[in-house]
Structure 1
Amino acid sequence: MTFGSFSRHLSLLGAGLALLATSTPVLPQDGNDEARLRRLEAEVRALQRKVFPGGDGRFFEPEISAEPSTRPAAPTTSTTAVTDILTRLDALETQLQRQTALNEENTNTIRLLTERIETLESAGASGSVLTPVPAVTPAPTSGATRSVTPAKPAGPSPERLAAVQGIAKPQTDDAADDEYSYGFRLWEARLYPEAQQQLTMFVEQNPKHWRATYGRNLLGRAYLDDGKAKEAAPWFLKNYQEDKTGARAGDSLLYLAETMIAMKDTSRACIALAEFSETYPALASGRLQSQYEANRSKVKCN
């Protein structure tokens, strides 16, 4: 509504109110006066509606009244928060499903490993031999960038099967000692992969047995004699550090020096030789003297 229109409405309202003010405040004498008064009141209400849209109880009574609604107003809060909660619940449910699947996979893996261990233990208890470990020959390459498919492991030859089956497992009152002795027999027969498998099982299952120092040392030798100096070194070092007073701790330290020589690590070889002569002088001049001097002759130490 413009300012001019609003002013005109106010003028009309003022005229209507003035007309009411000049009327005689006595009761009308006939029907015409009563009808005229009602018409003027109706015109005033009409002016009020134009000047005050929506109505106001102070000026006139609305012709149509409605009961106030008791229903609460609809919430104006955005549904973004609810959407976020639902999204997070979906994500948690997905994560829970993945975790459940992972737990099932782990349970299945543990079950298979347990069955494998039980099979090996049953085989050991019955005097069975280890499964022969076939040698793997890598496929040759004709170029540095050529991609080759690794050769599949070949099955053990009949000769190897016969050799492994020919190694008898001892059966005494000391089952742990029998496990070590069986590994020694495999190593002595130069069945190095099978000896490594057997001796690894022995030292892991019997770390406190009196034969453990023999087992760790012989395991290192099984790798060293198989041309795997890198795999042998940790076992020699572990056996020396585990118990320096052990029956084969000195042997392992000297074999560690020999392993470093095979790996062309002169510095560490010299350190091992020096520590051996200082820690085990009786062995250096006695049982292991020839091996000690042979290793010293292979390196030049300061």
Structure 2
Amino acid sequence: MNRSFLILLPFGVAALAGPVVAQDLSPRVDRLEREMRAVQRKVFPGGAGQLVEPQITAPQAPVATPGVPATSAVADLTARVSSLESQLSSLTGQIEQNQYQLRQLQQSFEAYRTSTDAKLAAGVAAPPPVVTDTAPPRDVAAAGDTRDAPPPRIAAPAGDRAAQVAAVAKPSTGDAGEDAYVYGYRLWQAKLYPEAAAALKKMVADYPQHRRASFAQNLLGRAYLDDGKPSLASIAFYDNYKKMPDGERAPDSLLYLGQSLVQLKKPADACKVYDELSDVYGDRMSAAMKADVANARTTAKCK
């Protein structure tokens, strides 16, 4: 055998090996690129399928100068594979982190829902109103009001909502606005808060110019407050103050508005409401109401 042929044989084999390896790497590169696009479409749905720059990139190859042989096809494909693997690793880490955060949010929400359901099942009630049952509240027994106060709370069969509502007598004095307000008041006394709220809202809508409209709007807020709905209560109280500032229960609505804000964890806003109450109605407040305001400011930790 020719000796020169034996010497050149290894170089020929090496030259042939390059194209063969390149052919083997090409399907891998194509597959990796397809997987990369699929992952990016999932992580970045608004990216329109475009590739993003990897967080970790391979160092740039030096620019070839004239006369220096170019890198082989195998080296180029290896660099592409390394870059794609780095991008896949980065995106996989982002997906795992997002999934972990989602699980944390779901667990937090489940814990909150379980806690809320337990409180509702236990019948947690809102704090009692300032005025007790020992005397008619300001909503009815106003100074100089000679009308008899409504009857005491009515005991109805427990567990039968319809029977409880039916047990509340509807007054009939010939004054439709007065009767509508007193009926709502009696429902509130019976602790039928949703029914009381509906009756009081209807009274205000039907008789907005009646003297008792301010009473009804204020008592509507109290019905929401006693029903554990301070957000709705705050709206009702605020509407009474803004829409009927000269109404007899506008000062009371500001007092209860502050209490609603305290329940909503907004004591600073409650203090501003108490300041407004003192500034606007200071000369109209009774000694009892001034004492209530002082106690409310202490509860809200006003300066």
- What TM-score, normalized by structure 2, do the two folds share? 0.47
**TM-score (structure 1 length as normaliser):** 0.47
